[in-house]
Amino acid sequence: MDLYSKEVMKHFRKPQNVGKIKNADGIGKVGNLRCGDIMYLYIKVAKDKKGKEIINDIKFETYGCTVAIANTSLLTTMVKGKTIEEAMKIKKDDLVKKFGGVPFIKIHCSLLAVDALAEAIYDYFKKIGRPISKELEERHEAAEKIGEELKKHHGGLFKVEEELHKEYEK
Amino acid sequence: MQKRIYPHTTTRTENQRYFNRERRFLFGVGVYLDYAATTPVDPRVLKRMMPYFSKKFGNTMSLHSFGQEAKADLEESREEVANFIGAKLEEIIFTGSATESNNLALKGIALARRSSSGGGRHIVISQIEHPCIMESAKWLESQGFEITRMAVDKFGRINPEDINKAIKKETILVSIIHASNEIGTIQPIVEIGKICKEKGVYFHTDSSQSLGKIPIDVNLMNIDLLTASSHKMYGPKGAGLLYIRKGTKIEPILHGGGQESGLRSSTVNVAAILGFAEACRISKKEIKKEAERLQKLRDKLIRGILTRVPNSHLNGHPKMRLPNNANFWFEFIEGESIIIQLDLLGVAGSTGSACSSIKLEPSHVLLAIGLKHEQAHGSLRLSLGKWTTEKEINYVLKVLPGIIKNLRKISPFKA
């Protein structure tokens, strides 16, 4: 008997789209204050034939449990090639449903993944100077607040990460 | 080479064959390294228990021969267990679990002292107790008792001198875990016991993890109350004990038919208690050799992991630790995902990560030894036991570095 569903394990065993994107158009960094998990999402945006913006490439990095890793992997496969509008419509329940359910205590991991995507899109909008909806702004503010708190918790890790990131962008 | 001797075998090869057969039956091809969570029942223990589920089903309180036979066997068990820890027959109270024993010890002493005139209201525990002590103390706090939670050093050791300072006129009980269930650190029980004796304060220790792994003598260690658990030492689940030194004032928390000298009313679970006693009897014979064997394997595991996995650290004391406990933390990754990856490869371990707890909080023991949230997040406990072989340790040393590497690849904190 396994703790998690087959779908969760599929993504955990072989996570899709792991890594960073160089010169990403948007980066979403979120964390959960209670459990301490952290997710990074990188997106590259392009225009499709109809001229609509799509998520051309997406990659993730997750510091967290089985379900956190599986969620980010699943989300990247769901939004890759989709328009930003479509991607924004994905809710945490859609992820949980695709997994065929997760233990109650792990539902926050799905929310975290969805938040990471929202943050990446926010970052993209901000970069190109597009007006940001009130909802997205609020979500960003909440995520930022948590980020500040997390830095107190995980101070050592963020220092390492910043240095690594600098190396990478060179 | 496996050292355990099966009495009916004559040659070493035959002995090894029996061991392997037992191992395969219990674990299949899996590598079970979570003996600190629970252990399988030793087949010899199971054999002794079986009749008590059928022919010898009697209630120890019954006057007829069915009941009296069960009662006689229960008392025989009590003697075996008492022998094992250097106690007197009447000082052993059987309970249903170590949690129950710890609850009885703390609440029973607190209630007894409160009702007597001039009783104190102060209890000393440590910051690295098992949750059943932590929560019992918290409840007593809500009932008006004062609790002091002793800090530990970075290895998880308590300084006995600190206990000496913490004891005051109102102190009625000091309760310190003998060996940590998480990091395996063994406390200076003898010294703490001595201090309590000098100051006239009851001393309770939770030896759920240590009994059967390191020798215990309640008199040499100046212990007034001691908790132990059957299922951590190859006995069945559903049996625990509380040793209570003669003359100790304690109130029951279960009231009823008056079994166990009135301290633990409930129909006695004869089968489980007999199993517990048998486990103690076996342990008494094998404890020394087994501890030496496990310690060698443990040290191989610890050395192997620390050298093969970069940025890995040992939790707990390097020497003063249970012979079967190894606990690490790995930088940049989370422990629950290590456990699930190990499970996929047939290895069973455990973690103190917040992600594995139902409260989403990291282990209080790891925080108490000074680990930060992020460090406790990447913790892994591997605990060895009777059927652990060198081959299994080699296998873990082979697969674990790869698991850590892969998870770090996914983590944003390490490229």
Strand partners, B240: B95, B229
Q: How confident is the model at residue B1 (pLDDT cuts 50, 70, 90)?
A: very low
Regarding whether B218 and B69 lie in a shared domain, the answer is yes
> Which of B281, B314, B347 marks a domain boundary?
B281
DSSP for A4-53, please give it: S-HHHHHHHHS-SSBS--TT-SEEEEEE-TTT--EEEEEEEEEE-TTS-E
Q: Which of A135-144, B323-332, B395-404 has the lowest mean pLDDT?
A: A135-144
Q: Is the pLDDT of residue B358 over 90?
A: no
Q: How confident is the model at residue B172 (pLDDT cuts 50, 70, 90)?
A: very high
CATH number of the domain to which B355 belongs: 3.90.1150.10
What are the distances in angstroms from CA A137 to CA A122, A123, A142, B349? 8, 11, 9, 43
Contacts of B408 in chain A (CB under 8 A): none
Percent of chain B with pLDDT over 70: 96
Regarding whether B194 and B91 lie in a shared domain, the answer is yes
Nearest CA distance, B158 vs chain A (angstrom): 26
The backbone torsions φ and ψ at residue B48, rounded to the nearest 5 degrees and listed phi first, read -70, -30
Average pLDDT over residues B312-324: 96
Regarding whether B401 and B260 lie in a shared domain, the answer is no
Determine whether B413 is exposed, middle or buried from the number of CB atoms within 10 Å of its CB (0-12, 13-18, 19+).
Answer: buried
Report the residue of B311, B336, B358, B375 to disrupt the A interface, i.e. the one with the largest count of A CBs within 10 Å.
Answer: B336
Regarding whether B352 and B265 lie in a shared domain, the answer is no
> d(Cα A21, Cα A44) in Å, to the nearest integer?
8
Regarding whether B258 and B220 lie in a shared domain, the answer is yes
Amino acid at B251: E
Question: What tens digit of pLDDT does each residue of B209-240 get?
Answer: 999 999 999 999 999 999 999 999 999 999 99
Of the candidates B151, B132, B156, the one whose C-alpha atom is nearest the C-alpha of residue B327 is B156
> d(Cα B415, Cα B409) in Å, to the nearest integer?
6
Regarding whether B22 and B90 lie in a shared domain, the answer is no
> d(Cα A60, Cα A27) in Å, to the nearest integer?
10
Regarding whether B197 and B60 lie in a shared domain, the answer is yes
Q: Is residue B4 part of a domain?
A: no
Q: Which helix (H) or strand (E) holds B177?
A: strand B171-177
Residue pairs spanning A and B at CB distance below 8 A: 82
Q: Residue A154 and residue B373: Cβ atoms within 8 Å?
A: yes
Regarding whether B292 and B275 lie in a shared domain, the answer is no
Q: Residue B360 and residue A35: Cβ atoms within 8 Å?
A: yes
Question: What tens digit of pLDDT does each residue of A93-144 get?
Answer: 999 999 999 998 899 999 999 999 999 999 999 999 999 899 899 899 888 8
pLDDT at B384: 98
Closest Cβ–Cβ partner in B333, B374, B414 for A154? B374
Q: Which of B28-32, B62-66, B178-182 has the lowest mean pLDDT?
A: B28-32
What is the domain partition of chain A in residue ranges? 6-169
pLDDT at B361: 87
Q: How confident is the model at residue B17 (pLDDT cuts 50, 70, 90)?
A: confident
Q: Residue B332 and residue A160: Cβ atoms within 8 Å?
A: yes
Q: Is residue B308 part of a domain?
A: yes
CATH number of the domain to which B125 belongs: 3.40.640.10
pLDDT at A165: 58
Q: Is B398 helix (H, G, I), strand (E, B) or coil?
A: helix
Question: What tens digit of pLDDT does each residue of B289-300 get?
Answer: 999 999 999 999
Interface of B with A in 312-351 (CB under 8 A): 332-334, 336-337, 340, 344
> Which of B281, B301, B319 marks a domain boundary?
B281
pLDDT at B240: 98
pLDDT at A164: 58
Considering its fold, how many domains does chain B have in total?
2
> d(Cα B315, Cα A118) in Å, to the nearest integer?
38
Regarding whether B118 and B139 lie in a shared domain, the answer is yes
Task: Indicate the fold that domain A6-169 takes in CATH.
Answer: Sufe protein. Chain: A (3.90.1010)
Regarding whether B91 and B21 lie in a shared domain, the answer is no
Q: Residue B336 and residue A18: Cβ atoms within 8 Å?
A: no
Q: Is the pLDDT of residue A169 over 60?
A: no
| B280 part of the active site | no
Regarding whether B158 and B54 lie in a shared domain, the answer is yes
Regarding whether B55 and B179 lie in a shared domain, the answer is yes
Domain span holding position B297 = 12-41+287-410
Q: Is the pLDDT of residue B118 over 80?
A: no
Instruction: Give the torsion sign (CA, B375, B378, B383, B384).
Output: negative
Q: How confident is the model at residue B191 (pLDDT cuts 50, 70, 90)?
A: very high
What are the distances in angstroms from CA A122 to CA A28, A33, B3, B261, B283? 8, 21, 64, 69, 63
> d(Cα B101, Cα B162) in Å, to the nearest integer?
26
Nearest CA distance, A63 vs chain B (angstrom): 5
Average pLDDT over residues B84-89: 97
> Which of B255, B281, B307 marks a domain boundary?
B281
Is B129 or A158 the better-scoring residue by pLDDT? B129
